[in-house]
Amino acid sequence: MRMYDLILKKRDGMVFDKEEIDYFVQGYTYGKIPDYQVSALLMAIFFQGLNEDETFFLTQSMAESGEKIDLSDIPGIKVDKHSTGGVGDKTTLVLAPLVASCGIPVAKMSGRGLGHTGGTIDKLESIPGINVDLSIQKFIANVKKIGISISGQTGNLAPADKKFYALRDVTATVDNISLIASSIMSKKIAAGADAFVLDVKTGSGAFLKNIEDSIKLGRLMVDIGSKFNKQTIAIITDMDQPLGYAIGNSLEVEEAINTLKGNGPEDLTNLCMELGACMLLLAEKTENISEAKRVLRKKLENREAYYKFLEMVEYQGGDTEAIEKMQLPKAQIKHEIIADSSGYISKMKADDIGRASMILGAGRQKKNDTIDLAAGVLLNKKVGDKINKGDVIAWIYTNRQDAVLEARDILRKAIHIEEAPSDERPLIFGLIDSKGQYTEY
């Protein structure tokens, strides 16, 4: 087999078989095929697409390119949740202890943020002392003992995806539905859970900006899950404005803690209820969604979900007193963004707000950049809210004086005020069940 022939084949719109896909995945992962040929192949895939079988073979090949985690020692149905990425998306911090407090074993491998989107592992690191780099043995032992563990992905989990993703990132080939689906699902399959709940984001802050593409991505991932005999549900949710009010690592942890105590923002709480209910169903803990939501609400009200979070932090070496007293990293500079007209907030562009937060220090522009855990943006208003001239729309938090003006200008352009209220955008657009059936909410 020759790489040249594979590039030509895809360029001319033909279909790969499993052997051909294994050839280029393994060849690239083990350094036998150069970047320039894989770049050409990715661009051919971007324009010609992959069909469902090719996407499945690609997922399988990447999932098998490295270590696979065996969770079979942990009793019960392990349900993993994954978000396609967004701004202010701290659902894992709430959802993981919430469902763990209902008896679902949570063995969660999470990632770091890149670009304008955040990552759970960076957020958790704002808790003093916490270890998010657990060995596989410790990771599994904690789940067996207390029902929950969140750790960074081991270096050898789907290494093919790591290499392909880095190349896609610099060759403008990230936003292809088949490539996104196989990238996400290869890591999920390698991480060993029995079932998946996928939060597919749609809107300005998501990889896919329109609802049709997001549904296609959700369906494709559900199909891949079922081909691996893993029950998978996807819900399509809004990422046109940030989730909740906080964007930035310690700010988001604080908001997640408040949510676990029952005092969180409505959108974040409702999303956690929806995702959590799907997880309870797949784990066979409840018969239907409304019963599941009732169980989840109780776990917030009686604080069991919050205590589970504290227990997880303690088992991972973190300072629980710092959480109880909310002593998380704080920025030295706090700057107000003031409304220059009255009306209603009509838009809060999530991607731009994420970018402002990154410039303030909360995110990485390049993979090895260090981040400022205290930096970010705290919104005071959300889309649909009434606002008067002179009101605070948001606060900037940073330790970089030189970033304030640039972030302020981005935020001013990202947040639109109009005289009349605009139509409300739903938080949840619909659900794709494990048979691939889409139901609009």
The binding site for ligand URA (CB under 6 A) comprises: 84-85, 165, 174, 179-180, 183-184, 207
Distance separating alpha carbons of residues 381 and 182, to the nearest angstrom: 37
Give the burial class of 212: count Cβ atoms within 10 A of its Cβ; 0-12 exposed, 13-18 middle, 19 or more buried: exposed
β-bridge mates for residue 152, sequence order: 110
β-bridge mates for residue 343, sequence order: 387
Q: Has 161 been annotated as catalytic?
A: yes
Q: Which is nearer to ligand URA, 59 or 259 (CB)?
A: 59
Closest distance to ligand URA from the beta carbon of 164 (Å): 9
Number of H helices, E strands in the chain: 17, 14
Instruction: Count other C-beta atoms under 10 Å from residue 246's C-beta.
Output: 26
H or E, element range at 79: strand 79-83
Distance separating alpha carbons of residues 57 and 70, to the nearest angstrom: 21
Q: Has 168 been annotated as catalytic?
A: yes
Q: Which is nearer to ligand URA, 46 or 245 (CB)?
A: 46
* Token pair of 220 as six digits: 């494709």
Closest distance to ligand URA from the beta carbon of 393 (Å): 30
Distance separating alpha carbons of residues 35 and 78, to the nearest angstrom: 37
CA quadruple 133, 137, 143, 146: dihedral sign: negative
Q: Which is nearer to ligand URA, 109 or 280 (CB)?
A: 109
Q: Has 82 been annotated as catalytic?
A: yes
Q: Three-state DSSP class for 15?
A: coil
Closest distance to ligand URA from the beta carbon of 207 (Å): 5
Catalytic residue among 81, 90, 187, 219: 187
Closest distance to ligand URA from the beta carbon of 70 (Å): 22
Q: Which is nearer to ligand URA, 175 or 314 (CB)?
A: 175
Question: Using an 8 Å Cβ cutoff, are 86 and 236 in contact?
Answer: no
Distance separating alpha carbons of residues 167 and 8, to the nearest angstrom: 19
Closest distance to ligand URA from the beta carbon of 190 (Å): 12
Catalytic residue among 90, 168, 285, 308: 168
Closest distance to ligand URA from the beta carbon of 109 (Å): 12
Q: Has 214 been annotated as catalytic?
A: no
Q: Which is nearer to ligand URA, 217 or 272 (CB)?
A: 217
Q: Which is nearer to ligand URA, 199 or 311 (CB)?
A: 199
- The crossing angle, in degrees rounded to 10, of helices 91-100 and 266-282 is 40
Catalytic residue among 78, 82, 112, 299: 82
Closest distance to ligand URA from the beta carbon of 320 (Å): 31
Q: Which is nearer to ligand URA, 46 or 165 (CB)?
A: 165
* Token pair of 150 as six digits: 């969140």
Distance separating alpha carbons of residues 116 and 350, to the nearest angstrom: 9
Catalytic residue among 161, 199, 238, 352: 161
Q: Three-state DSSP class for 169?
A: helix
Q: Has 346 been annotated as catalytic?
A: no
What residue has token string 């891949």? 224
C-beta nearest to ligand URA: residue: 183
Which residues are annotated as catalytic?
82, 161, 168, 183, 187
